[in-house]
Every structure is written in structure tokens, then in C-alpha cells.
């Protein structure tokens, strides 16, 4: 047979194409104009009742018209850029939500734009953002002011809880619990600083993921507000004391912990070394467990009181409170210095100066030192906050040195000089060391570390390091010469 010619191939293909599906040959047919009307007539005829092609027409008519709206609504969302989603955008609340509303319902565009235009005056209410120097000045002023209040609160709680027959003779325990509770409340609270820097969120979160992102963003922004820094780092950090906690742990181990139930001048009865170890474990468990429990309870308290917790107005905080705290903080600190230099009862016994005034003189120095060291070192190792660890160890060393100097005989030739020196040492321990070290931040870091093994490692190293330093510093004097009764005791 002769090979098929080109025309034969054309006729063969044309014949096969005529038997194919009309949907696939509609654009290749020789006479498309004649075929399309016939199909359209059959399609319209299928809609008429009693038509003979009623069962055949639906098989020939499913053109691309039903598929186009499905492509527009579903596939366009799948092809969207994931990097520009609502939760990952730099400002997810205001711009993206309005775009989504206008895309879904074009006829409701005025309602979608109106909520975005309403809070615009609120965002622009603050005339200018705070400068770097003004923010720094306000932060330092808040730290100074609240360090004074936190130190006074700690000394007051120690005096109130150290009484005859007290079940717990470590007075600093209740100060640590109080500061940790307030710290947990401030960390978890979302209402007090809701306006942040004058730009509060305008719309509620749409799902749990967006709510989590807003919470993380709010906590990150809240840490930059001077008033929040003053309350947490200043008040809570100075109300708690890691160095005093380590001192009580060592004194419990050495059977030298002061007992208010014993009469004055009566020594502590000696005991077996095993009981001293049990006393050490008791002080450790009480302080760490109660402080962590207080931190968590403070967070639960913030959640429970969320509906009644007020919000600090941003305008009031910036225009009034921030400006008033600058002269107030520096004036209070200078007042404490003047009271220490020229006490009103300088001709009397001067018994009250060493308990409060000298502590107030040194407290802001310890608080500022802790703040700057933490800012410098805490970010270097996220799983082990070096800043808090460094200040706790440094404050514990200074605490042990001052305690030794206060309990060794032969300091000061004259009694008034020895009394003043003893009060200064007590002020350094209560003020500088008490404000330089912290329990509230320490337990917050233990609770906030990503992995529990890092938290246990950080906690064990901190306790073991502090106790080891005091064993070397205070134990060398206690187990060689012994502690003498301080002049200002």
C-alpha cells in the first residue's frame, strides 16, 4: 500500500476529531460558528420541560462558567504570599483587617473603613515620641524612687514578721514572697499598661494564635515603659533580696540563725550536724517554693482581676507622672543623704539611723547597678541570665564581707565611731546588697526559661554558688574566731 498522503492524514484526523468530545474540539472544528449555535440551542432546549435532550444536555453543557468563581475565592487565598499574613505583618491589627473586609464585601466598604478612621486621633494624641534621653532620665528616676519604697517595704516586713514564737525566723522570707507576688501580677497583667506608648490595639484578636502574638508583643513593649521598669526592677527587685536569703541559709547551716524566742544574751544551743543540714534544706525549700508559688499566684490574680483592673492613661503618665517623678525621686534620695549626715537625734542614741536611713542612701546604687548589669549581660545567654547571676553573686560577696566586719571585735576606738561604722555596714547590707540582688527576677527567670533543665541548672548553680561563697567568707571567721555581738545589734 502507498503511504498515506498529507491530505489523507488530514481527513483521518478530521474524522476522529468529529467523533471526539465537543468540549475538546470546539476550537479546532472547521466551522465553529455553525457548531456553537447548535450546542447553545440544545443547552437552552434542555431547560424546557419535556425536552428529549434533557438527559444529554447536562453532559454537554458543563463549560468553564461554574469553575470561575471557585477559582476566584479558594485558589486566590491559597496563592497568597504567606509572608504577608495577618499574624506576621509588622502591624497586623490596623491595615490588614481593613483590606480583608473590603475584599470580602465590596458593598460594605464604608463600614470596614470607619473603624480604622475612628482610633486615628487616639494614635496621634501624643504629640511627639519620647526622646532617648528623656526616656533614660524617667527610667532612672523611677528606679531611684521605687528602690527607696521597695527597701522600706522589705525592712518593714522583716520587722513585722520577726517576733517571739514566730514559726519562721527568717524575716526576709515574707518580703521575698511579697515582691514575687507583685512581680507575677505585673508580668501577667494586660490592663494597666494597655495603652502602651499611646497606640493600644484597636481590634480584638480573631483567634488564639493572634491573641498569643498580641500578648507577646504587649509584654515586649511593656518592658520598655519607664513606669513598668520602676515597678518591677525597682520596687519588686528591692523588696526581695537574694543576698539576705543566702545569709540565712548559711546561718541555718552554721546553727547561728537569730531566734527571737531566745532571751537577750542567751546563746543558741548546739546541735548535731544532721539537724543543721535539715535546717539548711528547710530554709531553701521554704524560700524557693513560696517565692515561685507567689509568682504564679500573682499571675493568676492578674487574670482573675482583669475585668476590674484599671488602665493608666498614657497622657496622664507621660505629662504628669513622668515629669513629677524626676524631682521627687532625686529629692527623696538627697533627703536620705542629708538625714544620714545631719540626723535630727544626733545627740541621742541614734538607734534608728542604721535601720532605715543608711539603707536608703545605698539602695538606689544597688538598684541602678543591677539594672545596667542585667541589660548588658542577660541577652548573651538566653538559657542562663548572666546579668542576674552576676549581681546575685556580687551582692552575696559584699553581704558576707560586711557581715564579717560587723561581727568582729576591735573596730573603732570610740563607741560612737564603732556605732556609726556598724550602722553603715548594716545600711550597706540592707540597702546596697539588698537592692543589688533580687529574688523576684530570679524566680521569674526560673519560671520563664524555655527548657526545665536549664531552669534547674540555673537555680542550682545560683544557690550553690552563693552558699559556697558565704561558706568561704563567713565560715572562715565563724569557725576560727567566732562571731561577736555587733554594737548596733
Q: Mean of the pLDDT values across residues 91-112? A: 40
Query: What ranges do the domains of the chain cover?
Result: 132-478
- Tens digits of residue pLDDT in 35-93: 444 444 444 444 444 444 444 444 444 444 444 444 444 454 444 444 434 334 344 34
Q: Mean of the pLDDT values across residues 298-311? A: 94
pLDDT at 77: 45
pLDDT band for position 207 (cuts 50, 70, 90): confident
- Tens digits of residue pLDDT in 152-194: 999 999 999 998 888 998 989 999 999 999 999 999 998 898 8
392 versus 415: the higher-pLDDT residue is 392
pLDDT at 199: 63
pLDDT at 15: 46
pLDDT at 341: 87
- Residue in the block written with cell 470580602: 104
Q: Mean of the pLDDT values across residues 7-31? A: 46
202-207, Cβ contacts within 8 angstroms, sequence gap of 24 or more: 202/93, 202/94, 202/115, 202/116, 202/118, 202/119, 203/93, 203/94, 203/97, 203/115, 206/86
What is the rounded distance in angstroms from the CA atom of residue 304 to the CA atom of residue 162? 32
Largest Cα separation within the chain, whole Å, is: 138
| Among 302, 310, 145, residue whose Cα is nearest residue 235 | 145
3-state helix, strand, coil in the chain (%, to 5): 70, 0, 30
What is the rounded distance in angstroms from the CA atom of residue 383 to the CA atom of residue 454? 6
- Tens digits of residue pLDDT in 318-375: 889 999 999 999 999 999 999 988 877 655 555 566 679 999 999 999 999 999 999 9
Amino acid at each position: 500500500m502507498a503511504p498515506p498522503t498529507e491530505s489523507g492524514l488530514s481527513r483521518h484526523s478530521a474524522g476522529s476529531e468529529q467523533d471526539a468530545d465537543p468540549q475538546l474540539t470546539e476550537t479546532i472544528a472547521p466551522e465553529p460558528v455553525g457548531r456553537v449555535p447548535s450546542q447553545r440551542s440544545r443547552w437552552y432546549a434542555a431547560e424546557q420541560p419535556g425536552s428529549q435532550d434533557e438527559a444529554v444536555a447536562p453532559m454537554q453543557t458543563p463549560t468553564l462558567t461554574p469553575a470561575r468563581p471557585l477559582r476566584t475565592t479558594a485558589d486566590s487565598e491559597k496563592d497568597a504570599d504567606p509572608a504577608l499574613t495577618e499574624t506576621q505583618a509588622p502591624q497586623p491589627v490596623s491595615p490588614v483587617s481593613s483590606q480583608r473586609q473590603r475584599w470580602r464585601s465590596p458593598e460594605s466598604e464604608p463600614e470596614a473603613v470607619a473603624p480604622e478612621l475612628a482610633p486615628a486621633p487616639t494614635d496621634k494624641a501624643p504629640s511627639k515620641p519620647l526622646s532617648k534621653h528623656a526616656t533614660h532620665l524617667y527610667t532612672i528616676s523611677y528606679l531611684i524612687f521605687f528602690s527607696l519604697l521597695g527597701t522600706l517595704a522589705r525592712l518593714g516586713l522583716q520587722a513585722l514578721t520577726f517576733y517571739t514564737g514566730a514559726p519562721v525566723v527568717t524575716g526576709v522570707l515574707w518580703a521575698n514572697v511579697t515582691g514575687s507576688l507583685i512581680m507575677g501580677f505585673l508580668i501577667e497583667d494586660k490592663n494597666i499598661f494597655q495603652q502602651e506608648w499611646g497606640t493600644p490595639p484597636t481590634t480584638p484578636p480573631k483567634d488564639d494564635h493572634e491573641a498569643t502574638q498580641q500578648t507577646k508583643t504587649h509584654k515586649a513593649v511593656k518592658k520598655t515603659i519607664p513606669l513598668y521598669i520602676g515597678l518591677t526592677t525597682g520596687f519588686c527587685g528591692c523588696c526581695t533580696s537574694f543576698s539576705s536569703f543566702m545569709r540565712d541559709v548559711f546561718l541555718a547551716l552554721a546553727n547561728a540563725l537569730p531566734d527571737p524566742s531566745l532571751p537577750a544574751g542567751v546563746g543558741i544551743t548546739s546541735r548535731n550536724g544532721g539537724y543543721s543540714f535539715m535546717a539548711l534544706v528547710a530554709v531553701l525549700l521554704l524560700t524557693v517554693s513560696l517565692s515561685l508559688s507567689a509568682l504564679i499566684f500573682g499571675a493568676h490574680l492578674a487574670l482573675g482581676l482583669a475585668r476590674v483592673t484599671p488602665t493608666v492613661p498614657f497622657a496622664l503618665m507621660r505629662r504628669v507622672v513622668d515629669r513629677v517623678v524626676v524631682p521627687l525621686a532625686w529629692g527623696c534620695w538627697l533627703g536620705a543623704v542629708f538625714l544620714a549626715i545631719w540626723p535630727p537625734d544626733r545627740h541621742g542614741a541614734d538607734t534608728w539611723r542604721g535601720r532605715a536611713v543608711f539603707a536608703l542612701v545605698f539602695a538606689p546604687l544597688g538598684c541602678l547597678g543591677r539594672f545596667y548589669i542585667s541589660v548588658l549581660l542577660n541577652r548573651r545567654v538566653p538559657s542562663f541570665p548572666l546579668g542576674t547571676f552576676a549581681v546575685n553573686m556580687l551582692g552575696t560577696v559584699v553581704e558576707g564581707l560586711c557581715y564579717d566586719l560587723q561581727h568582729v571585735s576591735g573596730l573603732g576606738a570610740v563607741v560612737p565611731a564603732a556605732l556609726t561604722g556598724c550602722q553603715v555596714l548594716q545600711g550597706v547590707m540592707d540597702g546596697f546588697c539588698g537592692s543589688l540582688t533580687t529574688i523576684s527576677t530570679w524566680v521569674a527567670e526560673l519560671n520563664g526559661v524555655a527548657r526545665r533543665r536549664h531552669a534547674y541548672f540555673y537555680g542550682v548553680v545560683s544557690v550553690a554558688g552563693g552558699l559556697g561563697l558565704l561558706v568561704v567568707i563567713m565560715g572562715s571567721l565563724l569557725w576560727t574566731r567566732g562571731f561577736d555581738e555587733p554594737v548596733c545589734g
